[in-house]
């Protein structure tokens, strides 16, 4: 395999930049300063030139392929779509999902009595969503999981439910996977 | 149990068959399917069950046999000399695919809510031999869902593939005939008549043998996914038959008991009572701490303190009234090893008044035995019996109420409490200097006891149990014991040491204790953890006639 060897004349470089690299330092500082002043004036006149979002006041539209917190899809009747089949619990590589199944009198007889996700453990891999046969758990665009205690990072079923109307883009994206 | 069209043992002549190019020697007359399975060759099947008669209704086990005009079902084809079988031919694969498609035409595919998912033959064979796509467009037929077909069994008609295993079970094994096929052709379905639900003593076995999720155990319904269960081989503790079971454990809790095949004991069956009798392991009656009663108030204490308190009372009674003022009731629920340690404790105390109360109940001519304890036979063999001039269980309890005995040590208190009765317990508690109870669950006796030493349940310890016929079988530790508790086998030697009549014991090790036991008791010669295997071994000697009279079970129905 041919390799491209670049010869660097270190002595010449040193001579051009001064003994302590002062020239390189000044070049770097000038780039930083240029951006600082441009942004400062841009911000003052209301036309910022760079991509900076004032989180959490501002947010960006994430693409449907974005994998944030996994959430449970809530049907129009207010109930979860999940039937506690346990496949996400099994697929989860970090064991952050805990489900206790229960029985209802509804036509769909099985539901999760308890559905907990330890967000502190979740690694947002999306395998739960991939394993789900009911399109009941999807990766949302939510990313705010901070809490004041370890117990606070465990999200319960009521926290996880998101109405199906808020998730159409992600559900469409999930369905793309069926054709693969 | 069941004599199929070709019962093993009736034919002795060996024949040579070739399956997939492998030459196999088998007994003539055995079903080809069984021969293949015994030799590790997989042939998919639904309706065939080794302990039931042959039905041939699922058509899944079709194979190509040379010189036969068409494919034949392996379950109803007895092996014959020179038979050449191909299980991998293209037409076999095509036939299997066709069978799978027909079975799935009306299957609801509700695996997500089906308890069978994970151990479902329909899932396995569909992925192995079926098609990935459905060609049907018409809606699937609707049927009964969650139908309470019996007290302990739930029926889902849509999932049923009509293999008729359950029908044959109620006909041949439980012999109660509740289940029948009703209707004809594609309208046939399994059902019961209105006046006879499926509620025989063995009904949940139909859920075990159901290859799909049509019949389900109500106790396990929507309880836990089977792929999360850790399974441990054990023995059912509910009667002296000693049915082999698998414990399904999830997060240190028993989720279900399943029968495990052992042709010498229970074939592949077990009774419903035994299967559902595990809730005592973790219910509100469980004794989780040692208790010492002082001036009418029981207070929880450490195990060490309670042991010391028990030993002090024993020492006091022996010093004041002699060793024969102490009575000891053992338990037929203990393992052989623990009984051995208890016998040593009684010898250390020196009392002859030592016996056990064996709970008795109903029995039938199949699996259910009258002795409702797992190890009465083993306890007798190890020596849980009155010594020279000692009283038997009834006399010991009477002597407690009459004040003849000063201290009573009871292991496993529920049965003794039943014998004593409410007034008997009051009298005994009033007359005795001390009532020391070792038990895992609360009973009227633990409520009246001076000292309660917590015990462990069978799923929390290693050891062996001896069934009514003298078969020694292994139980395994499947659960972690509640914090701070030790097995009875460790408790007894410590008590013996504290009473001051034995040396400091080594840590309790069931395997080592069994070795010691095998040397001390001739009946147990040659029995050890390494020789028992998963199916157990018979004791070497016959039961002494006197003990046998009490223990003699009804003969197992042939």
* Between B253 and B549, residue with greater pLDDT: B253
Give me the pLDDT at residue A167, please.
92
CA B236/CA A125 separation, integer angstroms = 43
B137: left (phi over 0), alpha (psi -120 to 50) or beta: alpha
The yes-or-no verdict on residue B302 having pLDDT over 70 is yes
How far apart (Å, rounded) are the C-alpha atoms in residues B474 and B101?
A: 44
Binning pLDDT at 50, 70 and 90, where does residue B296 land?
low
Cβ-Cβ contacts under 8 Å, B112 against chain A: 83, 85, 87, 110, 133-134
Question: CA of B45 to nearest chain A CA: how many angstroms apart?
Answer: 26
Residue of B153, B216, B228 whose CA lies nearest to A98: B228
Give the pLDDT confidence of B429-467 residue by residue, as tens digits.
888 999 999 999 999 999 889 999 999 999 999 999 999
Band (pLDDT 50/70/90 cuts) for residue B544 is very low
Per-residue pLDDT band at B252 (split at 50, 70, 90): very high
Note the pLDDT of residue A32.
94
For B469-478, write each residue's pLDDT tens digit.
Answer: 999 999 999 9
Domain residue extents for chain A:
10-44, 70-179
Q: Which helix (H) or strand (E) holds B190?
A: strand B189-191
- Check: CB of residue B154 under 8 Å from CB of residue B216: yes
Which CB contacts under 8 angstroms, 24+ apart, belong to A127-131? A127/A88, A127/A91, A127/A92, A127/A93, A128/A70, A128/A88, A128/A91, A128/A92, A128/A97, A129/A70, A129/A88, A129/A174, A130/A91, A130/A177, A131/A87, A131/A88, A131/A90, A131/A91
Which ranges in B279-410 belong to alpha helices (H)?
Answer: 303-321, 336-349, 376-382, 393-402
d(CA B301, CA B293): 10
Kindly state the average pLDDT of the residues B474-483. 94
Say if residue A116 is preceded by a cis peptide, omega within 30 of 0.
no
Q: Cα distance from A100 to chain B (closest Cα, Å)?
A: 8
The maximal CA–CA distance of chain A, rounded, in angstroms, is: 84
Contact between chains at A101 and B223 (C-beta distance less than 8 A):
yes
Token pair for A67: 């994998």
Gap from B350 CA to chain A (nearest CA, Å): 53
CA distances from A145 to A37, A80, A119, A149, A157 (A): 35, 21, 7, 11, 15
pLDDT reported for residue B551: 42
Which residues on chain A are in Cβ contact (under 8 Å) with B146?
109
Q: In whole angstroms, what is the distance from residue B343 CA to residue B330 CA? A: 9
Q: Note the pLDDT of residue B2.
A: 42
**Least confident interval from B16-20, B269-273, B533-537:** B533-537
B234 pLDDT more than 50: yes
B290-466+475-510 folds as Rossmann fold (3.40.50)
Per residue in A55-114, pLDDT (tens digit) is 888 888 899 999 999 999 999 999 999 999 999 999 999 999 999 999 998 888 999 999
Q: What is the C-alpha separation between B174 and B35, in angstroms, rounded?
A: 27
Do B152 and B139 form a contact (C-beta atoms < 8 A)?
no
Strand partners, A112: A101
CA B532 to chain centre: 17
Q: A132: nearest CA in chain B?
A: B112
List C-alpha distances in Å: A113 to A80, A82, A117, B251, B553. Answer: 11, 10, 13, 17, 45
Contacts of B226 in chain A (CB under 8 A): none
Give the lowest-confidence range in A53-57, A165-169, B250-254, B313-317.
Answer: A53-57
Query: Across the strands, what pairs with B215?
Result: B155
Q: Pick from B256, B215, B208, B257: which is nearest to B52 by CA?
A: B208
Q: How far apart are CA B274 and CA B20, in angstroms?
A: 42
Neighbours of A127 (CB within 10 A): 17
- Quick one: closest CA in A to B114, which residue? A85
DSSP string, A100-150: EEEE-SSSS-EEEEEEEEETTT-----HHHHH-SSS-EEE-S------SST
Kind plus residue range of the DSSP H or E element containing B23: strand B22-27
> Which of A82, A101, A128 to probe the B interface (max B CBs under 10 A)?
A101
Percentage of chain B exceeding pLDDT 90: 73
- A83 min Cα distance to partner chain B (Å): 6
Residue B430: enclosing H or E segment and its boundaries? helix B413-431
User: Testing the interface with A: which of B111, B225, B228, B251 to mutate, by most A Cβ within 10 A?
Assistant: B225
User: Which among B275, B265, B273 is positioned nearest to B243, based on CA atoms?
Assistant: B265
Mean pLDDT, all residues of chain B:
89
Q: How far apart are CA B254 and CA B479, in angstroms?
A: 8
In this predicted structure, the answer to whether residue B552 has a pLDDT above a threshold of 80 is no
Residues in chain B with CB shorter than 8 Å from the CB of A90 are 225, 227-228
Residue of A nearest to B218 (CA): A103
Confidence of residue B553 (pLDDT cuts 50, 70, 90): very low
Chain B residue with the nearest C-alpha to that of A105: B146
- Give one DSSP letter per residue of B469-491, joined into a string: TSEEEEE---SPPSTT---HHHH
Q: A129 vs chain B: nearest CA distance in angstroms?
A: 14
**Chain A residues near residue B144 by CB distance under 8 angstroms:** none
- Furthest CA-CA distance within chain B: 91
By the CB < 8 Å criterion, does B97 face chain A?
no
Q: Would you tell me which residues 320-379 of chain B have a C-beta closer than 8 angstroms to some C-beta of chain A?
A: none
> Would you say residue A52 has pLDDT above 80?
no
Q: CA–CA separation, B281 vs B458, rounded Å?
A: 9
Q: Is the CB of B227 inside 8 Å of chain A's CB atoms?
A: yes
Name B292's bridge partners.
B299, B451
Contact A85 B223 (CB under 8 A): no
Q: Tell me the per-residue pLDDT of A106-133, one tens digit each, with 9 for 90 and over.
A: 888 999 999 999 999 999 999 999 999 9
Is residue B406's pLDDT more than 60? yes
Burial (0-12, 13-18, 19+ Cβ within 10 Å), B136 = exposed
| Interatomic CA distance for residues B437 and B280, integer angstroms | 18
Which chain B residue has its CA at the smallest distance from A99's CA?
Answer: B224
Please tell me which residue of chain B has the smallest CA distance to A83: B113
Report CB contact under 8 Å: A85, B225.
yes
Which residues in chain B are closer than 8 Å to A87, comparing Cβ atoms?
112
The 8-class DSSP code of residue B180 comes to E
What pLDDT does residue B263 have? 93
- Give yes or no for residue B58 having a pLDDT over 90: yes
Sorting pLDDT into bands at 50, 70 and 90, what band is A4? confident
pLDDT digits (tens, 9 = 90+) for B320-335: 999 989 999 999 999 9
| DSSP per residue, B415-426 | HHHHHHHHHHHH
Query: What pLDDT score was predicted for residue A17?
Result: 60
Phi, psi of A173 (to 5 degrees): -65, -40
Task: For residue B155, list chain A residues with Cβ-Cβ distance below 8 A.
Answer: none
Most confident region among B131-140, B219-228, B544-553 by mean pLDDT: B219-228
Closest partner residue to A83 (CB to CB) among B112, B221, B227 is B112
Do the domains B290-466+475-510 and B14-101 match in fold?
Answer: no
CA gap B41, B535 in Å, rounded: 24
Per-residue pLDDT at B555: 41
Domain boundaries, chain B: 14-101, 139-282, 290-466+475-510
The residue whose two tokens read 């069941």 is: B2
- When the candidates are 3.40.50.720, 3.55.50.30, 3.40.1280.10, 3.30.70.3270, the CATH number that belongs to A70-179 is 3.30.70.3270
User: Does A9 or B444 have the greater pLDDT score?
Assistant: B444
Quote the CA–CA distance of B342 and B492 in Å, as a whole number: 6
Domain spanning B139-282 has what CATH number? 3.30.70.20
Q: What is the pLDDT of residue B235?
A: 96
Classify residue B330 as exposed, middle or buried by CB count within 10 Å of its CB (0-12, 13-18, 19+). Answer: buried
- CA B72 to chain CA mean position, Å: 38
SS3 B182: strand
Whole-angstrom distance, CA of residue B357 vs CA of residue B421: 13
CB atoms near residue B528 (< 10 Å):
16
Percent of chain B scored above 70 by pLDDT? 94
Cβ–Cβ below 8 Å for B222 and A86 = no
Contacting B with CB below 8 Å, chain A residues are 83-87, 89-90, 101-103, 108-110, 133-134
Nearest to B112 among A102, A103, A134 (CB): A134
Identify the CATH assignment for B14-101 out of 3.40.50.2300, 3.10.20.740, 3.40.47.10, 3.30.365.10. Answer: 3.10.20.740
Scan for tokens 């009258």, then name that residue. B370
In chain B, residues with a C-beta closer than 8 Å to the C-beta of A89 are: 225, 228
Pair type for strands B189-191 and A97-103: unpaired
Q: What is the rounded average pLDDT of the residues A137-151?
A: 92
Residue B6: pLDDT above 80? no
Q: Which residue has the higher pLDDT, B2 or A82?
A: A82
| B260 torsion bin: left (phi>0), alpha (psi -120 to 50), beta (else) | beta
Task: Indicate whether this complex's ipTM tops 0.95.
Answer: no
What CA–CA distance (Å, rounded) separates B500 from B69? Answer: 83
Residues B393, B413 contacting (CB under 8 angstroms):
no
Model confidence over A24-35: pLDDT tens digits?
A: 789 899 999 998
Mutate which of A88, A97, A109 to test chain B, going by most B C-beta atoms within 10 A? A109
């Amino acid at each position: 395999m041919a390799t491209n060897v670049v010869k660097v004349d270190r002595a010449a470089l040193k001579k051009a930049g001064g003994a302590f690299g002062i020239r390189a330092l000044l070049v770097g500082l000038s780039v930083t300063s240029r951006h600082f002043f441009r942004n400062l004036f841009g911000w003052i006149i209301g036309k910022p030139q760079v991509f900076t979002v004032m989180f959490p006041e501002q947010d960006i539209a994430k693409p449907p392929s974005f994998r944030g917190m996994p959430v449970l899809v809530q049907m129009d009747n207010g109930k979860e779509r999940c039937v506690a089949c346990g496949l996400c619990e099994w697929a989860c590589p970090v064991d952050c999902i805990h489900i206790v199944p229960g029985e209802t009198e509804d036509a769909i007889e099985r539901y999760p009595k308890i559905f907990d996700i330890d967000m502190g453990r979740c690694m947002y891999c999306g395998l739960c969503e991939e394993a789900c046969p009911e399109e009941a758990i999807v990766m949302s665009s939510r990313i705010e999981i901070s809490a004041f205690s370890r117990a606070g990072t465990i999200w319960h079923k009521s926290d996880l439910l998101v109405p199906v109307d808020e998730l159409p883009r992600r559900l469409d994206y999930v369905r793309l996977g069926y054709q693969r | 149990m069941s004599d199929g069209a070709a019962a093993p043992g009736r034919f002795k002549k060996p024949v040579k068959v070739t399956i997939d190019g492998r030459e196999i020697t088998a007994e003539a007359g055995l079903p080809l399917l069984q021969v293949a399975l015994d030799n590790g060759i997989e042939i998919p099947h639904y309706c065939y069950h080794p302990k039931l008669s042959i039905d041939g209704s699922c058509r899944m086990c079709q194979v190509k046999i040379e010189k036969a005009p068409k494919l034949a079902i392996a379950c109803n084809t007895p092996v014959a000399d020179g038979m050449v079988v191909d299980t991998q031919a293209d037409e076999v694969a095509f036939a299997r695919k066709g069978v799978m498609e027909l079975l799935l035409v009306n299957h609801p595919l509700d695996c997500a809510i089906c308890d069978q998912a994970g151990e479902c033959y329909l899932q396995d064979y569909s992925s192995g031999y079926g098609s990935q796509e459905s060609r049907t467009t018409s809606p699937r037929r609707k049927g009964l869902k969650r139908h309470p077909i019996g007290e302990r069994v739930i029926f889902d008609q849509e999932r049923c593939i009509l293999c008729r295993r359950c029908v044959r079970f109620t006909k041949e094994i439980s012999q109660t005939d509740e289940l029948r096929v009703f209707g004809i052709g594609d309208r046939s379905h399994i059902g019961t008549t209105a006046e006879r639900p499926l509620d025989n003593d063995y009904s949940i076995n139909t859920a075990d043998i159901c290859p799909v999720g049509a019949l389900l155990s109500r106790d396990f319904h929507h309880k836990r996914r089977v792929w999360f269960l850790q399974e441990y081989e054990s023995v059912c503790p509910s009667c002296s038959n000693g049915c082999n079971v698998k414990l399904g454990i999830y997060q240190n809790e028993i989720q279900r008991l399943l029968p495990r095949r052992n042709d010498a004991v229970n074939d592949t069956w077990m009774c419903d009572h035994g299967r559902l009798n595990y809730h005592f392991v973790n219910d509100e009656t469980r004794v989780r701490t040692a208790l010492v009663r002082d001036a009418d108030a029981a207070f929880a204490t450490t195990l060490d303190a309670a042991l010391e308190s028990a030993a002090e009372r024993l020492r006091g009674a022996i010093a004041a009234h002699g060793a024969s003022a102490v009575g000891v009731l053992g338990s037929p629920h203990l393992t052989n090893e623990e009984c051995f340690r208890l016998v040593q404790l009684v010898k250390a105390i020196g009392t002859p008044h030592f016996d056990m109360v064996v709970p008795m109940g109903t029995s039938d001519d199949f699996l259910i035995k009258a002795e409702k304890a797992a190890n009465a036979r083993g306890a007798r063999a190890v020596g849980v019996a009155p010594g020279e001039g000692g009283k038997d269980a009834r006399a010991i309890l009477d002597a407690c109420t009459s004040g003849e005995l000063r201290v009573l040590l009871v292991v496993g208190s529920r049965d003794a409490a039943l014998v004593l009765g409410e007034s008997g317990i009051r009298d005994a508690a009033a007359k005795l200097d001390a009532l020391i109870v070792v038990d895992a669950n609360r009973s009227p006796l633990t409520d009246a006891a001076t000292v309660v030493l917590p015990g462990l349940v069978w799923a929390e310890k290693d050891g062996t149990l001896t069934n009514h016929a003298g078969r020694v079988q292994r139980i395994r530790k499947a659960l972690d014991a509640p914090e701070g508790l030790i097995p009875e086998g460790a408790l007894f030697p410590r008590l013996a040491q504290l009473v001051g009549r034995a040396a400091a014991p080594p840590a309790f090790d069931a395997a080592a204790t069994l070795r010691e036991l095998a040397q001390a008791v001739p009946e147990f010669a040659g029995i050890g953890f390494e020789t028992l295997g998963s199916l157990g071994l018979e004791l070497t000697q016959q039961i002494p006639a006197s003990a046998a009279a009490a223990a003699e079970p009804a003969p197992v129905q042939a």
